[in-house]
Structure 1
């Protein structure tokens, strides 16, 4: 009896592991491509899905599985439904929280996730930023309004409502429109040595010799660094600390 239960549990665990691996690989190679996974806490959600699908589910299978049990089909069917529901919740959570925009704002980039977006009803349909990217985060920028009243309103929204311009696609412009200003406000690569080990900085900069400066990337879980070249074009996002 024990061997039969163990075999059923192991098969359940193996199948769950295959499904889990495929889903995580799809997200990690797409919207959460490194190093953005670390920036938004991707692995915390992945671990929760892992515990639910691969550990808890098979353990319950081990407890309820008896070959001659009259209600075995019902028990296993109910367990499968619960696991699929848990897996569906996990997939939706990852999809809904996926990084969608890397938005330059004044002197930094901000990593905006899908569930951070505020979609105004008045957003022009022809706006290229109307629909968030489905698979890979894209670059955009914010250009501050020249109207003083609008700037005061934007500041008030950010302070009292937490609604920053970076969360509003209706206010996005292409990064190329602010690229000159972005480069002007960029930091010297030497500053990275103040917040990271020199060995880590040297190793990364050797991989990207075209880098001439960096711009901080603000994210929910871990801030990172955007390397730019002499024209302000983005070279690479790297997992270094941009500040204390």
Structure 2
């Protein structure tokens, strides 16, 4: 077997594994429209770069038919590739978005590694006390009524840990979205932002929604911020567009 054939076989196996991984990432763990904001495009490039490129390239470099110790060399390459891939998948799973939180005047995409297990255990409902494996759950974060809790939340926010990282303040989105809608902006407020008018007009044409029925709020992600579109009447999330809301 030539080194090119050996590398091609290795590349085929790696590409299959990479394709399965990409499907899991984009269809299950980082679903649209949140994949860009959560950094899935960057993570998949890193993961596939290691899995699809590094292993077959090393095989191409070291493989020589009949070489003494060739099996050992290939085993080391496979081990290195598997270790790098396992680490990459661990990073992906820790970064996956588990909640889309309506937080006062914006939506925040909360990844798994941003929630402290102790805080997670204090969630009001069972679904607020676990990390989703099938895309982020939509919730709303309600400000506490007790003065002491408000003071603690303010202090925590100044330290960088805001309300969206406390599941004990989560509530179901349906029935608790009036505050968010009251702070939402008309689509006209996006007109001054670069490329926004074209993107919004294209979205309206594709979906059939009327401009006056759609409002927006910022969506804060780990890697990028986007613009979340909502139905003006019932607060239903319609889509997230790659427009910088700030």
> Under a length normalisation based on structure 1, what TM-score does the superposition of the two structures give?
0.91
Counterpart in the other structure of 2:63:
65
Secondary structure in 1 matching 2:200? helix
Length, aligned pairs only: 240
Q: Deviations over 1:2-39 (max 9, x none)?
A: x7011111211121112111111221012212231211
Counterpart in the other structure of 2:101:
103
Check whether the contact 1:31–1:134 (CA below 8 A) recurs between aligned residues.
yes
Check whether the contact 2:124–2:171 (CA below 8 A) recurs between aligned residues.
no
Q: Does 1:232 align with 2:238?
A: no
Check whether the contact 2:55–2:77 (CA below 8 A) recurs between aligned residues.
yes
> Under a length normalisation based on structure 2, what TM-score does the superposition of the two structures give?
0.91
Check whether the contact 1:119–1:170 (CA below 8 A) recurs between aligned residues.
no
Q: Deviations over 1:177-215 (max 9, x none)?
A: 421111111111111212142222111122340642112
Q: Note the C-alpha offset of 1:120.
A: 2.2
Matches within 5 A, 1:1-244: 4-120=2-118, 123=122, 126-160=125-159, 162-197=160-195, 198-208=197-207, 209=209, 211-229=213-231, 230-243=233-246
Cα distance 1:196–1:204, how it changes in 2: closer, same or farther (>3 A)? farther
Q: Deviating runs (4+, > 4 A) in structure 1? A: none
Task: Give 5+ residue unaligned stretches, structure 1.
Answer: none
Find the aligned partners of 2:178 and 2:124 in 1 and give their Cα distance: 28
Check whether the contact 1:107–1:182 (CA below 8 A) recurs between aligned residues.
yes
Cα distance 1:22–1:128, how it changes in 2: closer, same or farther (>3 A)? closer
Q: How much is the aligned-residue C-alpha RMSD, in angstroms?
A: 1.8
Find the aligned partners of 2:51 and 2:109 in 1 and give their Cα distance: 29
Q: Note the C-alpha offset of 1:167.
A: 1.1
Check whether the contact 1:119–1:169 (CA below 8 A) recurs between aligned residues.
no
Task: Give 5+ residue unaligned stretches, structure 2.
Answer: none
Cα distance 1:38–1:189, how it changes in 2: closer, same or farther (>3 A)? same
Cα distance 1:201–1:44, how it changes in 2: closer, same or farther (>3 A)? same
